[in-house]
């Protein structure tokens, strides 16, 4: 596998026999001959230099990456930094390269006799699908799509990365593209990728009417082809940041360089060069232009956590090398991207590498530092133009490198609301340092830009705009967030359904000082109209049951009224987009909005009266939103409360009490769910209101399982053997009985039993929760089927199994499972979950950095440790300490080699968590379940 774009476009080299396959030795001979010929031609360049160049022309170029001459096809011609360049596709290596036009050579006929080594392929009869969401009808369905979803492409890439062998069945050839059925082997399992994508709803099968001219009809092409496995380089079909690309087929006279070339203006935005990119999204279309011009930008959107909001335009700006010539000639980044955690930073860094195939190399760096100062001292940023990191890591680096701001032009905040929530002090420290740098005279004509993107408006964002930005573009496409920015006065009236009409009439029974235009949104227009008529309140109405008369309604809505009057319009949600109202002063949600988007669309009707803090004028009418919250909307109470807090609205006391009861009821619904992973690992769950798991102790579930009796009778000191490392503090393994280890005896008996070939009896059908035997390398294990596919029609039938004596899970073919005699099933599952206490990730992270997990994995896996149990629930033991004890045979004594908690702290990526066990012990017990003794130590 050479290169992957998506399941409909990837390049491979092929082995086997057939009309399209050439032995690899021939390519090596061709490469040697080309290198010898073109190296000698350097003395007489004009003889092998083409007179004209055009898109699609076959040529030969020298690849700096491969250090050899390569056959290539010209994809585009561009003008950059005073000379012309060509983007070429290397047809034998499936790589893109950029060379100056003067370095292009004529492709000699003798070197074009054998087919291209890189074969373009696509999955046979496998087409993309996507999830189409209809917000009006509140439905979602899978429909055919024109391009592959990112999730499908990433899954396809992950399969090919994990494979140890790839086989392809050639089905057809069309336009030099091979239609294939791919089979991959992953951990000794054979999987058909075409079937797998369809079964997981990433794709659909499309039957071909007739494969005319298909080589698959010939017997010689029915054989499977072995695809050579190379390191995979994944690209994206967009090159949104190439400088001045030519998509037209433009011949160019290389000798004169005159008007044969269509020169594009230097201020023209980058153009998209890959067919499958359909263009920027709604939010991106507003964000990209100001970002690409170097302006300060704040973008709040439902897609505000997508780095693509800023990556393409920032990379485009960074290509303008002339903008940075006046900067000090020192080492330091031009752009700094701050992310809320190591995982998001890693994602952004990978995107920069994927999309950063630019004419000027930026050498991005991902910097995640722990609390070890020596680690920060070792970081070298020489030649790096872009740093991706977190606020905490950057400040640790800044302590040892005070020149980080000397060349910094672009400061990007990814998920700004999360950064302000988790690292407020650190973010403003960085902003202060940046501001002190750019206010000097030498920065007056240098680019300096701050970009902040996120999903929610935050109170600190207003300070960011006011104190640190210069005339910023504020792009808010989430209207409920725009209303917070615009200081809409939010009011919540908690009432029963029968009181809604009375409260509505009370709100309309006043004489305003200014003209008031009120919209009443309801699902029942007649109910509201009757109530208003009975109180002599005139109101316009429009709804779906009645023929829409938009002209009449808009005439009355838009005509001039004297101060002190109010105009009332009663309507349903489906009328909003046709009316296009933006000057309402009050919106009353008589019927609760069906979704946050509908809520935002209702608020947008007051957008003319949005006024942020920097432009508040007492003469402006203050927009007001009134929500009637009844017993029918209790599921939305938590969301409303969070929204009101962010909007700095006055929250009724009864709403707090109401929300507390809702939260308690929601927890009761989750009482059969597993105990929250974060609660177990750290003693607290930050996202409790949206977490799907349980946060209370359920003694019916959390009774001790499969624990030796003596554990509940002793002080809890045991020997443990960690076998499966989930993360730095979470492991699965066994408790070792030093006096009588029944599992060791059982394991020996099982392996002895399966040594006899006659005893290896494959099962006929895999049943869920049943126990079977499984061979892994040379050892046999007891496994339990925990998940089976809904349909078992595929040729390769996979099931999810759990190693009941180790705790890990994996996918295997059902044919690999062996019948396990009953005598081997009597011993209960030995796998126990262990959690090391009183330590957590640094920097308010909720997941362990892979560095520390990898370190602990190699240090403890498969080695016995001594541990003291401080808490036991269900099949989980909390241990503190966990120590590796070594026997010194010469001195006949034991010593503590290391403590796992201390080892984690020594990496600098962990910190003390003293309240861990205390918080767990404070966890509320289920009052309905009887309390028992013996589960707490």
Distances (CA, A) of 249 to 54, 75, 76, 275, 636: 6, 10, 8, 16, 57
Given a cut of 80, is residue 806 above it in pLDDT?
Answer: yes
Q: Rank 74-88, 173-187, 226-240, 696-710 by mean pLDDT and report only the highest.
A: 173-187
User: Beta strand 58-63 with 105-106: parallel, antiparallel or unpaired?
Assistant: antiparallel
User: Beta strand 832-836 with 730-736: parallel, antiparallel or unpaired?
Assistant: antiparallel
Given a cut of 90, is residue 529 above it in pLDDT?
Answer: no
Domains of the chain: 3-7+122-230 (2.40.50), 23-116 (2.30.30.140), 282-477 (3.40.50.300), 485-665 (3.40.50.300), 673-742+829-937 (2.40.50.90)
CA 398, CA 376: separation in Å to the nearest integer?
Answer: 9
Provide the pLDDT for residue 25: 84
Residue 428 binned pLDDT confidence (cut-offs 50, 70, 90): very high
Given a cut of 70, is residue 241 above it in pLDDT?
Answer: no
Least confident range of 213-222, 391-400, 816-825, 862-871: 213-222
Provide the pLDDT for residue 614: 58
Q: Rank 271-275, 761-765, 819-823 by mean pLDDT and report only the highest.
A: 819-823
Mean per-residue pLDDT for 845-856? 94
Task: Please report the DSSP string for 420-466 in residue order.
Answer: HHH-HHHHHHHHHHHHHHHTSGGGTTS--EEEEEESS--HHHHHHHH
Provide the pLDDT for residue 829: 92
Q: Write down the number of H helices and E strands in the chain.
A: 24, 44
Other C-beta atoms lying within 10 Å of the C-beta of residue 139: 9
Provide the pLDDT for residue 216: 34
Given a cut of 70, is residue 239 above it in pLDDT?
Answer: no
Residue 322 binned pLDDT confidence (cut-offs 50, 70, 90): confident
- Residue pair 135/573 in contact by the 8 Å Cβ criterion: no
Residue 508 binned pLDDT confidence (cut-offs 50, 70, 90): confident
First-last CA distance in the chain: 55
Mean pLDDT of the chain: 81
Given a cut of 50, is residue 225 above it in pLDDT?
Answer: no
- Residue pair 330/407 in contact by the 8 Å Cβ criterion: yes
Mean per-residue pLDDT for 467-495? 90
Q: pLDDT over 90 for what percent of the chain?
A: 31
Provide the pLDDT for residue 562: 75
Q: Residue 420 burial (CB < 10 Å; 0-12/13-18/19+)?
A: buried
Tell me the per-residue pLDDT of 785-796, one tens digit each, with 9 for 90 and over: 999 887 655 555
Tell me the per-residue pLDDT of 548-567, one tens digit each, with 9 for 90 and over: 677 888 888 888 777 777 88
Beta strands, E only, 759-836: 771-776, 779-787, 798-803, 809-813, 832-836
More confident residue, 916 or 257: 916
Q: How many CA atoms lie within 13 A of 537 on its CB side?
A: 26
CA 498, CA 769: separation in Å to the nearest integer?
Answer: 51
CA 449, CA 472: separation in Å to the nearest integer?
Answer: 9
CA 53, CA 51: separation in Å to the nearest integer?
Answer: 7
More confident residue, 802 or 79: 802
The whole-model pTM stands at 0.68
- Residue pair 545/570 in contact by the 8 Å Cβ criterion: no
- Residue pair 364/349 in contact by the 8 Å Cβ criterion: yes
Mean per-residue pLDDT for 184-208? 83
CA 166, CA 545: separation in Å to the nearest integer?
Answer: 60
Helix (H, G, I), strand (E, B) or coil at 61: strand
Chain-centre distance for alpha carbon 531:
50
Task: Please report the DSSP string for 125-159 in residue order.
Answer: TEEEEEEEEETTTTEEEEEE-SS--HHHHHHHHHH
Provide the pLDDT for residue 236: 32
Given a cut of 70, is residue 135 above it in pLDDT?
Answer: no
Tokens (6 digits) for 426? 């650190």
Least confident range of 108-122, 196-210, 539-553, 871-885: 539-553
Mean per-residue pLDDT for 729-734? 95
Given a cut of 70, is residue 265 above it in pLDDT?
Answer: no
Least confident range of 91-100, 126-135, 301-310, 464-473: 126-135
Residue 932 binned pLDDT confidence (cut-offs 50, 70, 90): very low
Helix (H, G, I), strand (E, B) or coil at 907: coil
């Amino acid at each position: 596998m050479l290169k992957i774009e998506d399941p409909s476009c990837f390049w491979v080299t092929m082995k086997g026999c057939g009309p399209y396959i050439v032995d690899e030795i021939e390519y090596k001979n061709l490469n040697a001959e080309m290198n010898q010929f073109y190296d000698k031609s350097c003395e007489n360049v004009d003889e092998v230099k083409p007179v004209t160049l055009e898109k699609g022309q076959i040529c030969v170029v020298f690849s700096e990456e491969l250090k050899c001459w390569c056959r290539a096809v010209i994809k585009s011609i561009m003008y950059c930094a005073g000379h012309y360049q060509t983007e070429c596709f290397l047809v034998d290596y499936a790589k893109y390269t950029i060379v100056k036009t003067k370095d292009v050579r004529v492709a000699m006929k003798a070197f074009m006799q054998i087919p291209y080594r890189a074969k373009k392929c696509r999955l046979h009869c496998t087409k993309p699908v996507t999830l189409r969401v209809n917000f009006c009808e509140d439905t979602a369905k899978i429909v055919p799509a024109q391009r592959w979803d990112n999730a499908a492409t990433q899954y396809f890439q992950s399969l090919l990365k994990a494979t140890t062998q790839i086989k392809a069945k050639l089905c057809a050839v069309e336009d030099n593209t091979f239609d294939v059925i791919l089979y991959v082997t992953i951990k000794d399992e054979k999987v058909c990728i075409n079937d797998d994508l369809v079964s997981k709803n990433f794709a659909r099968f499309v039957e071909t009417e007739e494969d005319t001219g298909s080589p698959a009809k010939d017997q010689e092409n029915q054989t499977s082809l072995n695809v050579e496995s190379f390191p995979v380089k994944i690209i994206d079909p967009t090159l949104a940041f190439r400088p001045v690309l030519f998509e037209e087929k433009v011949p160019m006279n290389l000798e004169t360089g005159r008007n044969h070339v269509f020169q594009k203006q230097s201020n023209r935005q980058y153009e998209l060069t890959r067919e499958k990119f359909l263009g920027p999204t709604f939010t991106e279309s507003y964000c990209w232009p100001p970002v690409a011009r170097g302006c300060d930008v704040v973008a709040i959107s439902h897609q505000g956590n997508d780095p693509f909001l800023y990556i393409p335009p920032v990379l485009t700006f960074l290509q303008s090398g002339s903008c940075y010539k006046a900067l000090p000639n020192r080492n330091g980044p031009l752009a700094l991207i701050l992310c809320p955690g190591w995982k998001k930073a890693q994602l952004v860094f990978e995107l920069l590498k994927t999309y950063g195939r630019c004419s000027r190399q930026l050498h991005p760096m991902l910097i995640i530092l722990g609390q070890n100062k020596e680690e920060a001292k070792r970081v070298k940023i020489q030649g790096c133009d872009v740093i991706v990191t977190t606020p905490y890591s950057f400040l640790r680096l800044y302590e040892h490198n005070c020149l980080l701001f000397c060349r910094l032009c672009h400061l990007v905040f990814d998920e700004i609301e999360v950064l302000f929530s988790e690292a407020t002090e650190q973010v403003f420290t960085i902003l202060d340092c940046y501001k002190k740098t750019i206010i000097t005279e030498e920065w007056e004509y240098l680019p300096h830009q701050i970009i902040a993107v996120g999903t929610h408006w935050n109170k600190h964002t207003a300070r960011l705009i006011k104190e640190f930005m210069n005339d910023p573009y504020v792009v808010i496409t989430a209207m409920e967030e725009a209303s917070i920015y615009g200081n809409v006065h939010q009011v919540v009236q908690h009432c029963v359904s029968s009181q809604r009409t009375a409260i509505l009439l009370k709100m309309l029974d006043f004489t305003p000082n200014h003209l008031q235009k009120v919209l009443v949104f309801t699902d029942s227009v007649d109910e509201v109209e009757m109530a208003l008529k009975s109180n002599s309140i005139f109101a316009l109405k429009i709804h779906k049951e009645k023929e829409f008369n938009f002209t009449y309604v808009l005439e009355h809505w838009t005509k001039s009224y004297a101060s002190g009057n109010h105009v009332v319009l009663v309507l349903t949600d489906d009328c909003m987009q046709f009316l296009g109202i933006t000057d309402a002063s009050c919106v009353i949600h008589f019927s609760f909005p069906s979704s946050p988007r509908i809520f935002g669309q209702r608020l947008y009707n007051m957008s003319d009266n949005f006024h942020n803090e920097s432009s508040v004028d007492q003469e402006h009418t203050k927009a007001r939103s009134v929500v009637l919250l009844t017993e029918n909307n209790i599921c939305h109470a938590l969301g409303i409360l969070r929204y009101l807090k962010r909007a700095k609205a006055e929250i009724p006391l009864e709403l707090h009490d109401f929300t507390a009861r809702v939260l308690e009821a929601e927890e009761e619904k989750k009482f059969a769910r597993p105990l929250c992973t974060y609660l177990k690992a750290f003693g607290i769950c930050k996202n409790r209101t949206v977490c799907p798991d349980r946060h209370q102790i359920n003694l019916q579930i959390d009774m001790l399982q499969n624990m030796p009796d003596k554990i509940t009778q002793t002080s809890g000191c045991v020997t443990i053997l960690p076998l499966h490392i989930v993360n730095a503090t979470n492991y699965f393994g066994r408790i070792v009985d030093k006096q009588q280890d029944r599992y060791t005896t059982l394991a020996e008996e099982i392996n002895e039993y399966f040594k006899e070939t006659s005893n290896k009896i494959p099962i006929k059908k895999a049943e869920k929760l049943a126990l079977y035997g499984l061979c892994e390398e040379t050892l046999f294990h007891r496994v339990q089927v925990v998940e089976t596919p809904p349909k078992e029609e595929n040729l390769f039938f996979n099931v999810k199994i759990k190693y009941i004596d180790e705790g890990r899970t994996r996918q295997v073919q059902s044919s690999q499972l062996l019948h396990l005699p009953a005598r081997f099933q009597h011993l209960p599952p030995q796998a126990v979950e262990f959690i090391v206490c009183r330590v957590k990730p640094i920097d308010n992270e909720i997941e362990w950095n892979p560095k520390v997990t990898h370190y602990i994995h190699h240090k403890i896996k498969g080695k016995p440790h001594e541990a003291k149990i401080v808490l036991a629930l269900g099949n989980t033991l909390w241990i503190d300490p966990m120590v590796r004890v070594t026997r010194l045979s010469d001195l006949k004594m034991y010593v503590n080699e290391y403590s796992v908690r201390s080892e984690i702290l020594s990496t600098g990526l962990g910190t003390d968590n003293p309240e861990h066990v205390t918080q767990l012990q404070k966890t509320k017990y289920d009052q309905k379940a009887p309390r028992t003794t013996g589960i707490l130590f």
